[in-house]
């Protein structure tokens, strides 16, 4: 069975004081849970949150990484810097980056490579828009996004990637995919990974993201190929996020 993982994506939310309270609540709540937990926080707060997490069992992640190694790239953050401040993971290719920052599949692959080279686990986000789903293009769109990255990686590197299926129409809308809908796409991704990685595809964590909350998490995690979640809005509330982690630990 693939490793489970519940990753928080705080997006562009947080403050020094608010982070302290939120991280304190999450740390206390997940102390006795067995699932892997990572908090992906805005870059300015990585050092603060890293300090708060020190010695605990929650990992730290960035929300984006530069495709470049270092140098004259104003505003960018390198994979080396993320490692330097204690990150273990980084979100790559989130639909909000693809949409608002024009990130192409080629750029997403370059970022995934940089992350892997630095020793970070990339959480690769894929997912279709509402129009694409309604026109029956979901599998084609998602597989193209998955294959454009996995096709560009050596086998050893490909085994380290975490995939997050996040249907764009479910993000921030309160309208999560049903467990069956999500499982359908997760099954498709798993089969594509099998042709690439053989039996090792079973070990690649496949996360679902898109309006995951304390009420729907357990039914999503009950699905065969849903190993964990990438949680946006609900990760900003300690109690709700801890409930999602607890549902994952019980799976
Ligand atoms: P919500 O959980 O707010 O729908 O966001 C999902 C997401 O985009 C996580 O990366």
Q: How much is the average pLDDT of 203-226? A: 98
Q: Report pTM.
A: 0.98
Q: How much is the average pLDDT of 161-174? A: 97
pLDDT of residue 124: 98
Q: How much is the average pLDDT of 213-237? A: 98
Q: Whose CA is nearest to atom 5 of ligand 1?
A: 232
Q: What percent of the chain has pLDDT over 70?
A: 100
pLDDT of residue 54: 95
Q: What's the total number of domains in the chain?
A: 1
Q: Rounded to 5, what percent of the chain is helix, strand, coil?
A: 50, 15, 35
| pLDDT value at 48 more than 70 | yes
The CB of 36 under 6 Å from ligand 1? The reply is no
Assess contact for 80 and 102: CB atoms under 8 A. Answer: no
**170 Cα to the center of ligand 1, angstroms:** 8
Domain with residue 173: its CATH number is 3.20.20.70
Q: How far apart are CA 67 and CA 79, in angstroms?
A: 8
Q: Write the CA distances from 25 to 12, 43, 52, 82, 176, integer angstroms.
A: 20, 21, 11, 24, 25
Work out the pLDDT band at 194, boundaries 50, 70, 90: very high
The CB of 171 under 6 Å from ligand 1? The reply is yes
Closest CA to 230 of 250, 211, 203, 249: 211
Work out the pLDDT band at 1, boundaries 50, 70, 90: low
Q: How much is the average pLDDT of 62-71? A: 98
**188 Cα to the center of ligand 1, angstroms:** 21
pLDDT of residue 202: 95
Q: How far apart are CA 121 and CA 7, in angstroms?
A: 12
Q: What percent of the chain has pLDDT over 90?
A: 98
The best mutation among 38, 216, 233 to test binding of ligand 1, ranked by most ligand atoms within 8 Å of the C-beta, falls on 233
- Catalytic pick from 94, 96, 103, 128? 94
pLDDT of residue 2: 74
**116 Cα to the center of ligand 1, angstroms:** 23
- The backbone torsions φ and ψ at residue 59, rounded to the nearest 5 degrees and listed phi first, read -90, 165
Q: What angle do CA 4, 9, 14 make, to 5 degrees?
A: 140
Tell me the pLDDT of the chain averaged across its residues.
97
Q: Is residue 43 annotated as a catalytic residue, yes or no?
A: no
pLDDT of residue 72: 98
| Residue 90: strand, helix, or coil | strand
Range(s) of the domain holding residue 229 = 5-249
């Amino acid at each position: 069975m693939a490793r489970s993982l519940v990753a928080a994506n705080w997006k562009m939310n947080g403050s020094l004081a608010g982070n302290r309270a939120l991280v304190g609540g999450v740390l206390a709540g997940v102390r006795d849970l067995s699932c892997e937990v990572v908090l992906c926080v805005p870059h300015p707060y990585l050092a603060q949150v890293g300090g708060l997490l020190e010695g605990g069992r929650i990992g730290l992640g960035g929300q984006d990484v530069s495709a470049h190694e270092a140098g004259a790239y104003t505003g960018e953050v390198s994979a080396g810097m993320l490692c330097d401040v204690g990150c273990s993971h980084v979100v790559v290719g989130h639909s909000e980056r693809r949409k608002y920052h024009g990130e192409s599949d080629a750029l997403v692959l370059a970022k995934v490579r940089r992350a892997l080279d630095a020793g970070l686990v990339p959480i690769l986000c894929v997912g279709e828009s509402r129009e694409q789903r309604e026109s029956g293009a979901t599998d084609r769109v998602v597989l193209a996004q998955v294959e454009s990255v996995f096709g560009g990686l050596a086998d050893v590197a490909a085994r380290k990637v975490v995939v997050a299926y996040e249907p764009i129409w479910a993000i921030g809308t309160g309208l999560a995919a049903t467990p069956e809908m999500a499982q359908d796409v997760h099954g498709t991704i798993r089969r594509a990974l099998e042709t690439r990685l053989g039996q090792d595809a079973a070990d690649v964590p496949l996360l679902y993201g898109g309006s995951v909350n304390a009420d729907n998490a357990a039914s999503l995690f009950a699905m065969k190929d849903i190993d964990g979640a990438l949680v946006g809005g609900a990760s900003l509330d300690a109690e709700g996020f801890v409930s999602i982690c607890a549902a994952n630990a019980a799976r």
